[in-house]
Amino acid sequence: MKMKFLQYTVLPALAFVCSCAGRAQDAKTTVATLVQHEDAASQHRGHYTYLSQERSDRTGGHLWVEKVAETNWGKVRYLTAIDGQPLAGDRLAAEKSRLTAEAADPEAFKRAEAARVDDEQHAKQMLELLPKAFLFDPPQPEGEYLRIAFKPNPAYSPQSLEERVLHGMSGSVLVDRETIRLHGIDGRMPSDVSIGFGLLATIHAGSSFSTVREHLEGIDWKTKTLHTDINGKALFLKTIARQQDSTHSNFKKISDNITVADAVTLLEQGS
């Protein structure tokens, strides 16, 4: 009787636990490989032009349509429409004047781009943080992808305020099964995250971000959609809010060595 109990209850349970542990380890290995592949690809990714539609803090809540050209120093942007209305008159003249100034002073453009806060960078930071700061559920097949859910590892101590916020999120990564590249990542704050015991800031539950990428050619994957919705309170009850919804399309490969001036000319010629 005791042997049958072991055979039909304890042993299958142990096998199930070992199987889940192995699959969880597979998830950790896959995520680590994913981070390595993304880091290697970032050193050699190509440049593209594309069409961006964005509503964000940067656009003042308006819907901006911009043509964008990637360079080694940042993204050259040409605003063509606001809330469905093409630029015209003084507003169009001001935009062309700004582009002319960027072409004439590429060093100023480089400094401005270096200081720009890019929400795509948050997804990159989250990805780099995943292997050391999160726990993973076993991978779940989803068509040609693997979805791996993650949650904060309570044993990890965040090293910065930004890590503190990212470490408070749970979510999932969607991994291309063939190349082990990132197709998508999403994170959501399940509960308030206090920084400095709430004296410095509190990021509210429900704050979230997500991004989806598409494969273009070779090692090049580009952001297709980007969503950020961060809300909270900072010191002296100052409101923390960061919202962005972007869609990118019409990707076209351009020279990896394009200059700022040439990027401006390329965007203007396509108008």
23-47 pLDDT, tens digit per residue, is: 556 899 999 999 999 999 988 889 9
User: Percentage of residues in the chain with pLDDT exceeding 90?
Assistant: 62
Return the residue matching tokens 């200059």.
Answer: 259
Who has greater pLDDT, 8 or 251? 251
Helices (H), the chain: 2-5, 11-42, 89-104, 106-115, 119-133, 161-167, 260-269
Q: Is the Cβ–Cβ distance between 133 and 163 less than 8 Å?
A: yes
0.85 surpassed by pTM: no
